[in-house]
Structure 1
Amino acid sequence: MLGQAAATPTNLTRLIHHFRSGALLVRSWPLAGGVSARVTAVEIRLAHGQAERLVVREYGARDLQANPDIARQEFRVLRALHAAHLPVPQPHYFETGALVTEFMEGQPEFEPADGASCVRQMAAFLARLHAIPPTRFSFLRPLALPSPCPRQPDESLSESRIRDALNRLDTPLSTRPVVLHGDVWPGNILWSGGRLTAVIDWEDAARGDPLADVGNARLELLFFLGVKALHAFTSEYAVLSGANMTVLPHWDLRAALRLCGRLGDWGLEQGLERQMRQRHQEFVDGALEQIQQT
């Protein structure tokens, strides 16, 4: 979380009254929302007595500086995806710095009882997402290029090796740019009874090569479920999407680069961080080996 003070009842009530006039705020409680936003669940009672649960997402200063219109963008993305019947929260209201959506049942699963089923459902979701005509998302920015190399590269995560390899490669030209989630990992996927109920947190959505999402999902699956899950996900996505996976190593390296200079700041339990660093190294080594073989 951001370390901000909890959302105040006054501010929550003000937001809710913009689209639920006369509603009474019954209770509120914080939700896990990563490092970029404060996320609060609220229960309200409507004027006719019916109860409703909602989620208020308040963006952090870094996201607002990068994109002051981020609330409107996520609202529009969710509206289009919800209309396409994808399992995402229905958006209700936005203003600068805040978004209100429906409350979706479910919890993230980092050690699911049926990992194989979860992997298949993740692959199926991404295949469905990437099949949506991108013309509906012309307002989205193209996927950003990697940030410039810092003065002190994160060599604990092989940053120089990754950047050197990417600099030698031409950026693949996507023949089929699609809408991307931009941050596919288990913390952004909700499950209930073994069923994927929602994919949340669309603030990083962009337009670009579908393998950008695939590479990120592969690395996150390796972190939490291991190499078998990584390969099963990749095979399932390839079959369902029909995507050309030839340039996947490039996108694997792009996914690996995102963690450089950041992983040590997440406050992870020591054992988990050690496991993630080891698996990150294996992921980078595998991508580099595949590139050398082509």
Structure 2
Amino acid sequence: MEKEVVKRFEPIIQRINSGNKLLHVWEIKGGISAQVWGLEVLQPNGQKQKMIVRQHGDNDYFRNPNIAADEFRLLELLDCEGILVPKPFYLDQSGVIFTRPFLVMEFIDGKNDFNPTNVRDYISQLANHLANIHRVDISKLDVSFLPLQNEICIELLNRKSDNSLNEYLMQQYLKSGIPLSKKNQDVILHGDFWPGNILWKDGKLVAVIDWEDAAIGDPLSDLANGRLEVLFKFGIEAMNEFTSTYQSLMPQIDYTDLPYWELFAALRLSVFTEWGLDKQIEKVMREKHEWFVTHAFTRMNKGG
């Protein structure tokens, strides 16, 4: 069976270098937004190298048929700017090997870590790398291929839901505040900054992955999403530590509208009820989500 799989993937690595030989292929499980395979390649110089083949799923592809090309281009830009991302090697849009576009990138020797031994250091590294992403000077780069976060937000405001997490109330409240006055310079947004999109090795953050939700917009959008995700995984104290560390690194940002972006994050992530989670895990997440939304509403009503 593996020989058949190797035969299917070998043309990919030979397009990168005609002297490459494919030794091994394995499917990488865990993600829901893309199909991912690992490749072990014997290069002409006798060195072995691992690579990743990434093909986006239906939702992302039909939302943006150019998503593979966009992610490839963004990874090139971010790698040049010193952001810890997989180096992109090859983009295929021919439809010859696979019917859908895909990209080949560097294999990062790391893994997700949801139980760090030193939570404070873990949170500090998360905040530092989010700040590094937001420091990339887009005035010197062509990022016109990325969507605007405001356009994504409008789609969220019109998304249908079962209202089990007060989605309708959040939508109406947010609609009443549009358009927000622009207080911050636009930055590159990861769009889904959470521990599941971070790779670690020996306690060090080694890569930020899965950039299919990237956009251009207010840095508070990423911060708010990160706050809720850290709350889900590590609790209120860790969320506050994540926020204060980021704020100390990015003092130039106006944080007035953070509660507003928190409601967007809460609205975006309200779909966790559809993930088929363990009932107890979902119960705890519901409680944290409710607290997060209530806290955001309270601060908005107080004007800060």
TM-score, normalization by structure 1: 0.93
Q: Aligned residue for 1:4?
A: none
Among candidates 114, 117, 120, match of residue 118 of structure 2:
114
Q: Which runs of 5+ in 1 are unaligned?
A: 1-6
Q: Which runs of 5+ in 2 are unaligned?
A: 94-100
How far 1:150 moved relative to its partner? Answer: 4.6
Alignment of 1:1-294 (within 5 A): 8-96=5-93, 97-135=101-139, 136=141, 137-143=143-149, 144-147=152-155, 148-150=157-159, 153-172=161-180, 173-242=182-251, 243-260=253-270, 262-294=271-303
Instruction: Give the Cα separation in 1 of the matches to 2:79 and 2:45.
Output: 26
Matched-pair identity in %: 39
Give SS of 1:41's match.
strand
Deviations 1:81-111 (A, max 9, x none): 1111111100001123211100111111112
How far 1:24 moved relative to its partner? Answer: 1.6
Give SS of 2:71's match.
helix
- Relative to 1, partners in 2 of residues 1:274 and 1:10: Cα closer, same or farther, differing over 3 Å? farther
- Relative to 1, partners in 2 of residues 1:65 and 1:195: Cα closer, same or farther, differing over 3 Å? same
Deviations 1:99-129 (A, max 9, x none): 1100111111112111111111111111111
The question of whether the paired residues in 2 share the 8 Å contact of 1:40 and 1:56 is answered with yes
Instruction: Give the Cα separation in 2 of the matches to 1:146 and 1:282.
Output: 24
- Relative to 1, partners in 2 of residues 1:167 and 1:275: Cα closer, same or farther, differing over 3 Å? same
The question of whether the paired residues in 1 share the 8 Å contact of 2:75 and 2:87 is answered with yes
Q: Structure 2: which amino acid aligns with 1:162?
A: M
Instruction: Give the Cα separation in 1 of the matches to 2:213 and 2:280.
Output: 28
Instruction: Give the Cα separation in 2 of the matches to 1:235 and 1:271.
Output: 30
Measured on the aligned residues, the alpha-carbon RMSD in Å equals: 1.6
Instruction: Give the Cα separation in 1 of the matches to 2:11 and 2:58.
Output: 21
Instruction: Give the Cα separation in 1 of the matches to 2:137 and 2:14.
Output: 35
TM-score, normalization by structure 2: 0.90
How far 1:291 moved relative to its partner? Answer: 0.7
Deviations 1:59-96 (A, max 9, x none): 11221111111111111111111111111100001123
